[in-house]
Structure 1
Amino acid sequence: MMRLVRFSLLLFTLVFASLTPVHANENHPGIVTDLVVRSGNDWTGSPLPPYLMSAPEVAVMRFTIPPNTALPIHKHPAINAAYVIDGELTVFQEGGMQRNFKKGDVVIEMVEKWHHGINQGSVPVELVVFYATTKDLPLAIKKPNP
């Protein structure tokens, strides 16, 4: 139950924060918003592609990655962003750079580029990932084994 409450508060905060910069809301005393991230670039600094042209669909997934666990190498056909609820994740671009993301960080994912994440820490990594996709488009595509 506590996880559901924490997830609901997180989702409300992320949605509300994306609407306005940091300030107290004069119409609703006590509510403070904080823009966590707004960018046209992925975590490597590369520009995001134009948004999909067909009818949009939003998908939200929650991931728990155990300590010392690597995700498979994969790519995303649509724009998405992950909010790190807990832990620390290292994301690797295939043949390129890497970056660490910790609790409270946002990972704006690469589109159509192979990458993977690893939890090298001692606590599970918890992520909530928001996908701006279209109907029937996969959220991720695993790289085939050679």
Structure 2
Amino acid sequence: MTNAGPPPASAFMTNLPLRRDPASIRLRVEAMERLLEGAFIVPGINRRVGLDVLLGFVPVIGDTVAAALGAYIVWEARNLGMNKLQLARMGSRVGFDFAIGLVPFIGDAADFFYRSNTRNLKTIKRHLDRHHPAGVVIDR
């Protein structure tokens, strides 16, 4: 049996741990990033997109909801004890994604290519690998 890629977002969203330890936070943040950036595959181009792109098609409200969901990732990073500079960078990525998303058509294209939540997840993973080495996960 071959693995055709990462499991769907629904597989990550079931039974997420509610604890406050770094491993549980990592799982929740990875699930949120997957939902926002890679929940669906666009047929024909085989590119993963998520709710961030889909919500971008709803003017203002959709971008606001996507920014709020992205802010959740930053909030979880704060719970991990990340420093203020890292949190500011992560928040600015979410803010930039929100601001550019407000521009019609250009914002929709930017959501497709600029993945602020994926970048924020990488920042969180670097922090976790450095400060909580017991929870290191080897990515494929």
Higher relative contact order, structure no. (Cα contacts within 8 Å, ≥ 6 residues apart): 1
TM range (shorter): under 0.3
Q: Give the TM-score of the pair, scaled to structure 1.
A: 0.24
Larger Rg: 1
Q: Give the TM-score of the pair, scaled to structure 2.
A: 0.24
Greater helix content:
2
Greater strand content:
1
